[in-house]
Structure 1
Amino acid sequence: MSLKVLVADDEPNIVVSLEFMMKREGYEVLVARDGRQALEAIRRERPQLVLLDAMMPGMSGFDVCEAVRADEAVRDTQILMLTAKGRDTDVARGVGVGADAYMTKPFSTRDLMQKVRDMLA
């Protein structure tokens, strides 16, 4: 059974490249274009890992993360937050709402894939 990874980002270029990289690694990829879609997909599909953009329309990645952690059924879902917001306060906020890991954009694809492999190992 292949592992499911949800790519939740509103930037089409980022979605395309992340989707390509994850599929190349053999993961089953789901895509959500805003926070509400991401939360619905997490509850419905139960991905092992979510690559979650912090700033999305409808519901921010921070809000999605908080909702996941508060939901008994999906709270164990691993969340890697990807964001252009790299200030210490943003990182602290991401960790504060329960993100398992945090990477700032632009990120090295090699570093990202290593982090994903480590998280799914």
Structure 2
Amino acid sequence: MADILVIEDEDNIAVALDFLLTRDGHRHARLATGGGALDRIRDSRPDLVLLDVMLPDVSGYQIVQEIRADPGLQGVRVLMMTARGSVVERRKGLALGADGFIAKPFELAELRGEIARLLAR
């Protein structure tokens, strides 16, 4: 079982993630905006952050960059999610320090595989 923080503004996607993570036995919480995300990550030290790229207040790119700039958060793994799964976006996310990148809408099997891969590291 892992501690996972979901940062996702779209309720329908958050509900699907909640269902999946609960079924797979993970502890999880959700933030609907990027504001305050870094403080929450520092406070809770999740094993994995499922991070949407397009968020109100602060973009997912900015959040992953700030996570990677903080030596105290080295162990936090980040899986970025975007509705625009272009190669350019994927490269940018990985270049900024994301551990994985998945396009929405995603297949549940693909998402579960990525979560398992990142938690096994």
TM-score (norm 2): 0.94
Give the Cα–Cα distance (whole angstroms) in 2 for the partners of residues 43 and 78 of structure 1.
13
For 2:66, the equivalent position in structure 1 comes to: 67
1:8 aligns to 2:16 (yes or no):
no
Q: Hey, which bits of structure 1, 4+ residues long, moved more than 3 A?
A: none
Give the Cα–Cα distance (whole angstroms) in 1 for the partners of residues 61 and 99 of structure 2.
12
Instruction: In structure 1, give the amino acid aligned to 2:84.
Output: K
Give the Cα–Cα distance (whole angstroms) in 1 for the partners of residues 50 and 76 of structure 2.
11
Q: Residue 86 of structure 1: CA displacement?
A: 1.4
Q: Once the two structures are aligned, what percentage of the paired residues are identical?
A: 38
Q: Residue 15 of structure 1: CA displacement?
A: 0.8
What SS is found at the alignment partner of 2:15? helix
1:21 aligns to 2:34 (yes or no):
no
Give deviations 1:20-43, integer Å, cap 9, x for gaps.
Answer: 111111110011111123222211
Q: Residue 89 of structure 1: CA displacement?
A: 1.1
Q: Residue 62 of structure 1: CA displacement?
A: 0.3
What SS is found at the alignment partner of 1:92? helix
For 1:108, the equivalent position in structure 2 comes to: 107
Give the Cα–Cα distance (whole angstroms) in 1 for the partners of residues 17 and 106 of structure 2.
11
Question: What runs of 5+ residues in structure 1 fail to find an aligned partner?
Answer: none
Instruction: In structure 2, give the amino acid aligned to 1:69.
Output: R
TM-score (norm 1): 0.94
Instruction: In structure 2, give the amino acid aligned to 1:117.
Output: A
Give deviations 1:53-107, integer Å, cap 9, x for gaps.
Answer: 0000110000000000001111321000010121111111101110000000111
How many residue pairs get aligned? The number is 120
What SS is found at the alignment partner of 2:112? helix
Instruction: In structure 2, give the amino acid aligned to 1:80.
Output: L
